[in-house]
Amino acid sequence: MADEQNAINQLNSYNEVSYESRGMGIGGFLLHLSLEDPSGLQVVVGIDAEVAGITDSQIDNLRNMRFIESLILARNSLTDRSVKSIVESRFADRLNYLELGNTDITNESLSDLSRLGSLQFLGLNSTGVSDEGIVKLRVLTNLKTLTLCDTDITDLGLEYLGQYLKLKEVDITSTQCTAAGIERFISLQAPNANKVLIGVTNLGLTEEWKESVRKSYPWVRFLD
């Protein structure tokens, strides 16, 4: 744990850092850091810190990084405070990939997340989000993939998504969404859809129903 915390703290001491995520936890960062022009600005391209034991205070330390494009922070004890730090950071406008699954964030964070206009991927599996918050994401017009497994999303939230966003992939595994709600979502996506992948595990959908939907909407694929 001490090594992991030191890794985060040391990132802020570099003038410029190029880092490409290779799937390691935060304790492995320093093994793959490449120092560039010491007179330059602080740069980290991507951070993979899944299951790294990091906290809100450590995310605060990233605020002054300028060019982070990808953050994988799943399975850490992070709260809405971390999301606020990310949104208020110098790299917020560049961030296009954000994984927050299995953290302690709530609907409060979704207002902040709606300010990240470059997001293309947003992972919210097993978080405290619900229909009330999900509507706030309607302004994220660049969003292509949204994961909502094991959340309190219902057909209402799914309809919000269908009305405002053109998603390529949405995972609603183990939610309260129903066959009727999924068909409504698909119909809303239809006018501009090319291909949509929908995760539907543990929703009680029959193979007959899925086949019927595929016949009506050939561009839909189910993942279960």
Both structure tokens of 146: 């949204």
Q: Are strands 97-99 and 121-123 parallel, antiparallel or unpaired?
A: parallel
**99 and 150 assigned to the same domain:** no
Is the separation of the CB atoms in 169 and 145 below 8 Å?
A: yes
Question: In the listed set 47, 77, 105, which residue is the last one of a domain according to the structure?
Answer: 105
- 189 part of a folded domain: yes
DSSP states along 21-42:
--S--GGGGGGS-EE--TTS--
User: What pLDDT is recorded for position 64?
Assistant: 84
**160 and 80 assigned to the same domain:** no
pLDDT, tens only, 38-94 = 334 445 577 888 877 889 988 988 888 887 899 999 999 999 999 999 999 999 999
User: What pLDDT is recorded for position 44?
Assistant: 58
Is the separation of the CB atoms in 84 and 61 below 8 Å?
A: no
Q: Nearest-CA neighbor of 74 among 10, 145, 147, 132? A: 147
pLDDT, tens only, 127-161 = 999 999 999 999 999 999 999 999 999 999 999 99
Which residue segment(s) compose the domain that 73 sits in? 1-105
**61 and 131 assigned to the same domain:** no
Collapsing DSSP to helix, strand or coil, 52 comes out as coil
Indicate if the pLDDT at residue 27 is higher than 80. no
Q: Count structural domains, the chain.
A: 2
C-alpha 2/C-alpha 178 separation (Å) is: 46
- 200 part of a folded domain: yes
DSSP states along 109-143:
HHHHHTT-TT-SEEE-TTSB-BHHHHGGGGG-TT-
Question: In the listed set 70, 105, 140, which residue is the last one of a domain according to the structure?
Answer: 105
**75 and 135 assigned to the same domain:** no
Question: In the listed set 44, 75, 105, which residue is the last one of a domain according to the structure?
Answer: 105
For the question of whether the overall pTM of this predicted structure is more than 0.85, the answer is no
Q: Nearest-CA neighbor of 62 among 42, 36, 48? A: 42
Collapsing DSSP to helix, strand or coil, 76 comes out as coil
**90 and 131 assigned to the same domain:** no
- 111 part of a folded domain: no
Per the model's pLDDT, the better-predicted residue between 83 and 14 turns out to be: 83
